[in-house]
Amino acid sequence: MPAEIGTIPSSALALAAAYRSEEADPVSVVDTLLERVAALDAEVGAFVTVTADEARAAAVAARDALRGPGADALPPLFGVPTALKDLTPTAGIRTTFGSAAFADLVPEMDGSPAVRVAAAGMISLGKTSTPELGLPCYTEPDVAPPSRTPYDLTRGAGGSSGGAAAAVATGLVPVAVGSDGGGSIRIPASSCGLVGIKPSRGLVGGTPEEIDVSGLAVPGTLALTVADAAALLDVLALTGSRMQDACGRAPGRLRVARFCDPVISELPPDPEVVAAYEDMSRLLVRLGHDVVDVPPPFGPETVAAFETAWFVGAASVPVPPEREELLRPLTRWERERGRAATGVEYASALLAMRQAEQRTLEAYAAYDVVLTPTLGQLPAPVGSLRDDADPAADFEAQKGFTPYTSVWNIAGAPALSLPTGWSSGGLPIGTMIAGKPGSEPLLLSLAAQVEHECSTPANAWRRPSTLMADR
């Protein structure tokens, strides 16, 4: 991505600094970005709902606050534009959950991510697209156009935070909020050439109504840079500047475990994905880290437990009976399988996942970080994973696309996707680093070190997308 979008710094932190030096103001920034949304969103499918009036009003208030007394005490990302995933309830603003069954839903209350973004003084431009109920790893909902990676508009942005990733990668917002129950932040981060952070279970608190019994899903962040992603995580997790500060510290010499064998699929990874993983491994060695091959943490028995928990989660979403027929074939298939599971089977699945969590953490206890590819394949062509005629085949195709990410949802551990590789056709390829629960600062320190190394002229950390270059 270019260093600037017109006269606007593309980095959230750089934009916040420009506000304080009076080189930019929130009103002109919001107006410029809304113009970009109007010009480009039809191509990338980032937004379901654009809240232009609310954003402009918030920008005026932010400008006045930045010019008034006490401006030095304002939060670090005050006035910085962002966007909220359409799984996050927003009071008075349509929230569709990516589904025609909820196309007209207007919640009365905000979800926790919306509350925390507003409390930090950030300005939401609207709701970003997500697949139905956030279930598929591709973002092709009935309520909005497909979300596409701006590096190749024939290919999808991934999911389920696909709209958020498309928005950031296209320069419509500098950072965006996502959520991740099986890879839903890291998958689109890899597909769109971004940094995507899935934090540890429990780091980002929520209300009692937001509790995920399976323990799989957590809010997280998507950004162009490691520091920006960390700064937004500080906002969501109420951690002050702890995550952002970690980006400025050297990680020290680390023991890095690595594996490339798919965990939840038998489909071999794409050779270009493997090449990017090997390149990342060599880079870590050059940086002084010890890299050791290890086997994957678990096998098919845990995959079956994950699927049971996933399907029960899909079935537990309350949908008015008269609107069930509006759900997609894949959603109905998953909900039917979830309803078919007995209480004992669900309890057994949750136990199996907790046991797999413990085994995973014990297996890698001697290592600081675990390295894998983020995805098994290159960004998928729009429509190539979806199969309305055969939802079971659809689900299996998704597993082949995402054979690594759900490991860390099961383990409750943090994982971060970095855009460290490029295919021969110019598509972004992510590699993933994961750590022990609570080790976000260490992961961010390592990620920032890798980012710095890959930003040298001899490397290609980030490239302008075709869409951006054309504008």
Q: What total number of domains does the chain contain?
A: 1
Catalytic position from the list 10, 11, 85, 399 = 85
Q: Tell me what pLDDT residue 462 has.
A: 56
Tokens coding 199: 């934090």
Residue 19 domain flag: yes
In this structure, the number of other CB atoms found within 10 A of the CB of residue 287 comes to 17
Give the domain extent around 136: 4-252+416-469
With beta carbons less than 8 A apart as the criterion, state whether 90 and 132 touch: no
Catalytic position from the list 99, 160, 281, 417 = 160
CA distance 106 to 22: 37
265 is catalytic: no
Helix, coil or strand: residue 262: coil
Q: Please choose, from the candidates 237, 54, 48, 238, the residue with its C-alpha nearest in 3D space to the C-alpha of residue 160.
A: 48
Spans in the chain with pLDDT lower than 70: 1-7, 456-471
Residue 8 domain flag: yes
Residue 71 domain flag: yes
412 CB-near residues (< 8 Å, 6+ apart): 200, 201, 202, 215, 357, 437
Angle of helix 226-237 versus helix 440-454 axis, rounded to 10: 160
Catalytic position from the list 10, 99, 184, 214 = 184
Instruction: Dump pLDDT digits (tens) for 121-179.
Output: 999 999 999 999 999 999 999 999 999 999 999 999 999 999 999 999 999 999 999 99
Side chain identity at residue 279, one-letter code? D
With beta carbons less than 8 A apart as the criterion, state whether 251 and 223 touch: no
Residue 132 domain flag: yes
Helices H / strands E in the chain, number of each: 16, 13
Q: What CATH number corresponds to the domain at position 137?
A: 3.90.1300.10
Tokens coding 350: 């949750």
CA distance 196 to 220: 8
For residue 46, which phi and psi values (nearest 5 degrees)?
Answer: -80, -45
Q: Tell me what pLDDT residue 470 has.
A: 46
Q: Tell me what pLDDT residue 454 has.
A: 86
CA distance readout (Å), 288 to 211, 237, 252, 254: 41, 31, 9, 8
Q: Tell me what pLDDT residue 468 has.
A: 54
Q: β-strands 123-128, 81-85: how paired?
A: parallel
Residue 14 domain flag: yes
Residue 283 domain flag: no
160 is catalytic: yes
CA distance 415 to 199: 7
* Preceding amide of 160 cis, omega within 30: yes
What CA dihedral angle connects 364, 369, 370 and 371, to 10 degrees? -160
Residue 358 domain flag: no
State the DSSP code for 143. T
CA distance 153 to 46: 12
What CA dihedral angle connects 53, 58, 60 and 63, to 10 degrees? -150
Q: Please choose, from the candidates 194, 198, 195, the residue with its C-alpha nearest in 3D space to the C-alpha of residue 151.
A: 194
348 is catalytic: no
Q: Tell me the residue ranges of DSSP E strands in 284-381.
A: 290-293, 369-373
59 CB-near residues (< 8 Å, 6+ apart): 26, 27, 29, 30, 31, 79, 123
Tokens coding 12: 């959230």
Residue 164 domain flag: yes
